[in-house]
Amino acid sequence: MTRIACAEFAPVVGDLDGNRARVLDWIERARTSGVDIAVLPELASSGYVFADAAEARAVAMRADDPVLASWARAAGDTAVVVGFCELGDDRDGGGALYNSAAVLDGGVVRAVYRKTHLWDAEKLVFRPGSCPPPVVSVAGCRIGLAICYDLEFPELVRSLALRGAEVITAPVNWPLVARPEGERPPEVVQAMAAARTNRVFVAACDRWGTERGQRWTRGSVVIDEAGWIVAGGAVPGGPGRLVVADIDPARARDKAVSERNDVLLDRRPELYPGW
């Protein structure tokens, strides 16, 4: 079994030092809870609601920043997927900003992914990524990355599944939206469908609190390969929490849904015009 956890805490916008310490604290909580794979929120290093691009730039880090390396070392045997505000290198024309996620494993930064689908005002601050999200082997399973709004594109999740991802690890910051009484957040419904559609696990780590008037959903969730929630789900208020589930990622390798059906092999790409 693989112990996976979402470390749902509240980064503080612009407080780089404080957020660095918060990330270390939650990595430590995950490590001491025997977590194999910990997912932290989107933009955990920086907070989300920037006043402008300059404010984001002031708290951005390069992918080779010693802070990321120090988190990787602190995580020990726990693999970590954490969102951060990335400063591109000089090849980006002086350093564009990206809404990124790093995979920390074995004491090093194993991969960095730049969010493909930017949400609303993010478009005023960040450049969208230009590489597909990676699939990375950590803790004996293959994780595929997505960041927040990315999860709402079934194309992206399907692509990860086709490339062998068993668990979709997704740092998110889900803005709280109105929903009918008794319903789950719509992003959770979409994540449940994404899991069942592809027979993959999904671990989405949200945040809590209110940031410059923006309320967050606090909807961190672990979903199994049949699309059912096995840990977490939206709850009101704070404080931080570790949403933990023990899963068997190998179950995601079996794509059969009946004696004669397989969710990936049954696709008929020639019959989806416009794709």
Residues lying near a copy of itself in the complex (CB under 8 A) are found at: 116-117, 119-121, 123, 128-133, 149, 152-156, 158-159, 162-163, 179-180, 183, 186, 189-190, 192-194, 196-197, 226-228, 258-261, 263, 266-269, 271-275
Q: How far is the CB of 25 from a copy of itself (least distance, A)?
A: 32
- Residue 9 or 119: the one with the smaller Cβ distance to a copy of itself is 119
State which residue, 171 or 185, has the beta carbon closest to a copy of itself. 185
Least distance from a copy of itself to the Cβ atom of residue 50, Å: 15
CB nearer to a copy of itself: give 215 or 267: 267
Q: What is the CA radius of gyration of the chain?
A: 18
Q: Residue ranges of the alpha helices (H) in 130-202?
A: 154-162, 186-198
Residue 72 Cβ vs a copy of itself, minimum distance, rounded to whole Å = 26
Residue 190 in tokens: 């979409």
- Least distance from C-beta 175 to a copy of itself, angstroms? 9
Return the number of the residue (19 or 198) whose C-beta is nearest a copy of itself.
198
Looking at the Cβ atoms of 141 and 195, the one nearer to a copy of itself is: 195
The residue among 37, 198, 176 whose CA lies nearest residue 188 is 176
Q: Which residue is listed with tokens 């008929």?
A: 268
Q: Which is nearer to a copy of itself, 140 or 154 (CB)?
A: 154
Find where tokens 């079934």 sit: 154
- Side by side, the strands of the sheet bearing 79-87 are 108-114, 97-105, 79-87, 37-39, 2-8, 241-247
Eight-class DSSP state of 156: H
Q: Which tokens is 150 given? A: 């990315």
Task: Provide, rounded to whole angstroms, the least separation between the CB of residue 78 and a copy of itself.
Answer: 29
**Min separation Cβ 190 and a copy of itself, Å:** 5
